[in-house]
Chain A
Amino acid sequence: MKIIVDEEKCCGAGQCVLIAPDVFDQRDDDGIVVLLDARPPVVRHDAVRECAAVCPGAAISLDEDA
């Protein structure tokens, strides 16, 4: 799995950080998403899928085959 984030769509809600804090963080100054781990381990995949689903900016997309 490979995670792609679109910073321009991110609205800094931090929903992703609440769900998967070891995969996502936010910048201190403007709250835009920071991808800590673009290729998370399998144990994190379900949480990451939930992040992509609830992100209110539709800013997280996943390449499941990568």
Chain B
Amino acid sequence: MKHTLPDHVLVVGASAAGLSTAEALRRKGFGGRLTLLGAETALPYDRPPLSKQILSGIWEPTRAQLRAKEALDALDAEFLLGDAATALDAGRRTVRTASGGSVTADAVVVATGVSPRALPGQDGLRGVHRLRAVSDAVALRTALLGARRLVVVGDGVLGAETAATARQMGLDVCLLGPQPAPLTAQLGPYVAECLADLHRQHGVALRGGALVDRLLSRDGTVTGVRLADGEELAADVVVTAVGSAPATDWLRDSGLVLDDGVVCDERSRADEGIWAVGDVARWRHQGLGRTLRLENRTNATEQALAVAGNILGEDRPYVPVPYFWTDQFDVRIQAFGLPSPDARTVLVEGDPAEGRFVVRHDGPHGPVCVLGWRMPKQTRLHRASVVDHYTRPSRRTTPSAGMSSA
């Protein structure tokens, strides 16, 4: 198929994935018109620090900005910030916006990320927080400074990080969720159990295998959480971190295939001239032979690079080794690859008793994941052992187990 270079690229969503796509386009020599449309008014900023340095107050919120103003100016792009896309006409590649405007381009990149889910009854209740945007982090910090007891609902990365940060701020913290240990899905049982120990050592009360019945409140203010088994946990502040949904509402009538994300081919292409990147994209991972949607920071930039290349005709599949990290208390955990529940856990470096180690998950066809605990460099060195699993075209007989998102 002949590739026509676009004259105008519109990126919808001006955060990690969107901005990286724009930057990569310029770096690869794209000289045409470039527009970034973003719902938030703040200049593009990074989210990982929100639950860490911004929530704890170590950084001023502006420190999370992704690029200095001069670097954004040098992009020679038009930033339409504080305006959200409300609809896409995929055939024309026209995007309508909340302010009543519309932008038509030759290529449209969907980079709208995800929005956090809510618990029933949460909206409008004082004292219940979610954490996705910098304004959420600032509001939560203010609330925590005036609170004594925090309950975090949700035992994924976000919930566990929030619990750790709040505990370090001196609050009484309870972290609850359905899994036996926090992050079991992302880390596998062994490392997740180490993480549970870490939280306990620091005085976080853990409630594994717990389901929420409902939020408790008085006069419109939250007072705690009631569990399915009837137990009631009192709280001044409740954080819900119960997963996110791809921000695809605005694409409802676009004709694009939506299935827990914008469904794309191996090249992250959703339709003729339409691409998706970052947390919102569900693309076909050629090495794994199935679709994947990743919610992590490295994927946002790596997929952006791939999409920018494909917009310019490189015609290459996006075949990453998934990577994410999390910081909790004084521990940095890193994972290359996706853990698999049926894998064997093998210690390959360090010693858990000394608080520094790397383990590898060996699946039936070889290593699928390496996980490091306070050993970043060594973990990266073991990454090589899992590359094959992700980059070789699928030759496995059994479908690889695991999660669809990290």
Contacts and interface: CB of A to CB of B under 8 A. Distances in A.
A11 B332 contact: yes
B334 interface: yes
B302 A12 contact: no
A13 B27 contact: no
B380 A58 contact: no
A28 B377 contact: yes
Contacts of A26: 376-377, 380
A54 interface: yes
Contacts of A61: 68, 71
Contacts of B301: 53-56
Interface string B32-49: 000000000000001010
B275 interface: no
B67 to A, nearest CB: 7
Contacts of A15: 298, 323
Which of A14, A57, A61 has most B Cβ within 10 Å? A14
Contacts of B46: 57-58
Interface string A25-40: 0111011100000000
B376 A53 contact: no
A18 interface: yes
Interface string B70-81: 010000000000
B297 interface: yes
A13 B325 CA distance: 8
Nearest to B65: A58
A59 to B, nearest CB: 10
B298 A53 contact: no
Contacts of B68: 61
Contact of B376 (A30, A50, A54, A58): A30
B211 interface: no
Contacts of A5: none
Given A54-B301, A54-B302, A61-B68, A31 B376 contact: yes
A58 B67 contact: yes
B331 to A, nearest CB: 11
A14 B20 contact: no
Nearest to B380: A14
A1 B260 CA distance: 43
B369 to A, nearest CB: 16
B311 to A, nearest CB: 15
A49 B376 contact: no
Contact of A53 (B27, B327, B377, B379): B27
A20 interface: no
Of B325, B376, B378, most A-chain CB atoms within 10 Å: B376
A55 B323 CA distance: 12
B268 to A, nearest CB: 16
B377 to A, nearest CB: 4
A31 B377 contact: yes
A13 B323 contact: yes
29 contacts: A12-B334, A13-B323, A13-B334, A13-B380, A14-B377, A14-B383, A15-B298, A17-B380, A18-B383, A26-B377, A26-B380, A27-B377, A28-B377, A30-B374, A30-B376, A31-B332, A31-B375, A31-B379, A50-B27, A50-B305, A53-B24, A53-B27, A54-B20, A54-B298, A54-B302, A56-B48, A56-B298, A57-B46, A58-B66
Per CB-CB distance, the 9 closest pairs between chain A and chain B, nearest first, are A31-B376, A12-B376, A14-B380, A26-B377, A56-B297, A54-B301, A31-B377, A56-B298, A58-B66
Interface of A: 11-15, 17-18, 26-28, 30-32, 49-50, 53-58, 61
Given A12-B376, A12-B377, A54-B20, 12 more contacts: A11-B325, A13-B323, A26-B376, A26-B377, A31-B375, A50-B27, A54-B298, A54-B302, A55-B301, A56-B325, A57-B48, A61-B68
